[in-house]
Amino acid sequence: MAWMEPGYKLTDSLKVTVKNANAAGIGTGFVAAIFSIMGPGVIVMNAAQQGQLSPEVATSWLFAIYMTGGLLTIYYALKYRLPLVAAYSIPGAIIIGKSLTHLPHAEAVGAYYMVAVLVIVISVSGLIKKAIDYLPLPVMLGMIAGVMMSFGVNLVTAIKEQPVLIGPPVLLFFALTALKGFAKKFPPILGSIILGGFLATTLGMAQWDVLEFQLATPVLFLHPEFTVRAFFELTVPLTILVLGVQNIQAVGVLMAEGYKNLPINSIFIAPGLGTVLNAIFGAHPCVTAGPSTAICASPAAGEDKSLRFIAAISEGVFWILFSLSAGVAITVAGLVPKELTAMLAGLAMFGVLISAFAGAFSGRFKYGSFVSFIVAVSNISIFNIGSPFWALIAGLLFSIILEREDFVAQRQEQEQELLLERENGQNA
């Protein structure tokens, strides 16, 4: 599509993937998949229960979000060779759960279609790309650091609550990380997964007997209802979540890891198209996921940043497998203690947090980035819109008031880079 950035040929990227498949990428993708399924899957099912949806409709909901997320994630990875992950809106599921207590599911599905239209139209207009070009990178990284901080805190809490289960895998992670030569061949987080699973089983904390596989039978939802009340109650906040909170987190995560020339239009348009696919099966909006992207983009996915997209492909494959047995998304949540999931997510975020802090507070826009950081850490919600959005707004306002000279310097740098690109283009 002309309004989405060109990338690599999918077949060429597939050949690169097969040639360079490695334990770090596949293992990190598995960690990201497990993280995305255990807690979030339960939140979606809770929303379905609040709306008193039938098991068939609830299963269809789960099937759609994992299948669409998996397919789009693999597309992102092959097309742009970036560790981008498409998923579904977790805070959106919470909002929807509350609304389904008084809104019919048909009206909610109609609202999803309206979200898709708004997301695609706004993204195609180019407004998002212009906004990201104007938004200071340190302010965005401050927001990322604040959002991801909870993963580090949860890791410490997990060690306190389950020291026998969590302590040894964490120590093993750092021991393997210290062995730099060995860590290049065997990812430290994979060692933590193996040891954590072994300890959970040995200590009787892993309930493997509850695991049941059953092929999903999705339901086509072909009769949505479009109402004004659903538009204001669901479409408006969900659109803000997709555009202003969640997709932009993924952009910030990749910037924190040093990825440049990102396909901004695709990052925002593709979830709009994914939302249409989800709505066909009665499922809620698709997004580009911040936390999962952070895991796949982290050093745990491999030393070579250009090959970390393999972790995203791995997660996409695992998501598709889960979608085919959608009920397993809930079953898996009961297999192991939540502390083990918190540990894996926390360890995977180490590199991302370090990069985000370094980018947020080592140069310009320090006031704005700090304000963005503390607002994101606060986890406030205003008008059902989460703290990442308000973090960017507050950080940007403080920078405009206190750091105008930094905007001037940023604009001069951008003009110089543009001039250099033009000169290189003329010489080529």
Do 295 and 27 form a contact (C-beta atoms < 8 A)?
A: no
**Neighbour tally for 379: CB within 10 Å:** 13
Do 47 and 283 form a contact (C-beta atoms < 8 A)?
A: no
> Which pLDDT belongs to residue 197?
84
**Neighbour tally for 317: CB within 10 Å:** 17
> Which pLDDT belongs to residue 323?
87
The one-letter code for the residue type at 228 is V
DSSP labels, 410-426: HHHHHHHHHHHHHHHHH
Do 392 and 354 form a contact (C-beta atoms < 8 A)?
A: no
Residue 89 structure tokens: 């809106």
> Cα separation of 258 and 267, whole Å?
17
Domain ranges of the chain: 10-427
Residue 186 structure tokens: 């065997």
Do 69 and 286 form a contact (C-beta atoms < 8 A)?
A: yes
> Cα separation of 332 and 206, whole Å?
10
> Cα separation of 152 and 294, whole Å?
13
Whether this model's pTM surpasses 0.75: no
Q: Which among 140, 153, 154 has a CA at the least distance from the CA of 375?
A: 140
Q: For residue 258, what is the DSSP state?
A: T
pLDDT < 50 positions in the chain: none
> Cα separation of 90 and 290, whole Å?
11
Q: Which among 343, 351, 297 has a CA at the least distance from the CA of 191?
A: 343
The one-letter code for the residue type at 350 is F
State the residue for tokens 């999918």. 10
> Which pLDDT belongs to residue 39?
60
> Cα separation of 276 and 78, whole Å?
22
In sequence order, the β-bridge partners of residue 86 are: 288
DSSP labels, 157-177: HHHHH-HHHHHHHHHHHHHHH
